[in-house]
Amino acid sequence: AQSVTQLGSHVSVSEGALVLLRCNYSSSVPPYLFWYVQYPNQGLQLLLKYTTGATLVKGINGFEAEFKKSETSFHLTKPSAHMSDAAEYFCAVSANTGNQFYFGTGTSLTVIP
Amino acid sequence: NAGVMQNPRHLVRRRGQEARLRCSPMKGHSHVYWYRQLPEEGLKFMVYLQKENIIDESGMPKERFSAEFPKEGPSILRIQQVVRGDSAAYFCASSPSASTGRPYEQYFGPGTRLTVT
């Protein structure tokens, strides 16, 4: 079975500061890991994904995440926050068979000017 | 290439009515997933379908909810006799089959926001 825990339902950072959103997962099989962003009243947009290979993955809008198997983590980072980064962020895990995703409860990111 | 389409975007129903939510997957995608997002919560899996087949419905409530993905046309999520607790955003996602792409990538539609009054 798979599950995801996102620590911190609300995170506030100053514009230009480091963004760090935490995600820990549980999986009985090698996981596929994803970060999605959701803007108000919109659907989910894929930021980045880890399937196999390089553990540091780069995504859109300057985001990146590192898969750490020993820590069962997949934290999302961005060196410098921009006002447009304010949104809800969801971490998700799936088994490598293409079936359902398990989502965390989300982290709402606020960027302070 | 159009993305995943969902309609309507907003749906208001009175208690006891039926709600029908439609999802057209991305072109070439044969797998459809439905998720429900309650306020202040993440997305919860409901059902996974391929054309004319329900593959996994472990997340579907036992009563009043049904889903289909016919050979022709969109996937339909149907909620009968809606109650206020059904108010939520319902998202559809699609993915390609293993023979045509990467089945582990799911692409999400904009969602249907159901309000039950």
Task: Give pLDDT tens digits for B68-87.
Answer: 999 999 999 999 999 999 99
Q: Cis peptide before B8, with omega less than 30 degrees from 0?
A: yes
**Closest listed residue to residue A46, CA positions, set B14, B40, B19, B102:** B102
Q: What are phi and psi of B42, to 5 degrees?
A: -80, -175
Q: Which ranges of chain A have pLDDT less than 70?
A: 96-98
**Rounded CA separation B24/B6 (Å):** 6
Q: How does pLDDT run across A47-63, given as a tens digit for each residue?
A: 999 988 889 999 999 99
Burial (CB count within 10 angstroms: exposed 0-12, middle 13-18, buried 19+), residue A52:
exposed
Size of interface A-B (CB pairs under 8 A): 59
> Given a cut of 60, is residue B1 above it in pLDDT?
no
Task: Report the SS3 class of residue A64.
Answer: strand
- The verdict on a CB contact (< 8 Å) between A41 and B113 is yes
Chain B environment of A94 (Cβ under 8 Å): 104
Does B41 sit within 8 Å of A101, measured CB to CB? no
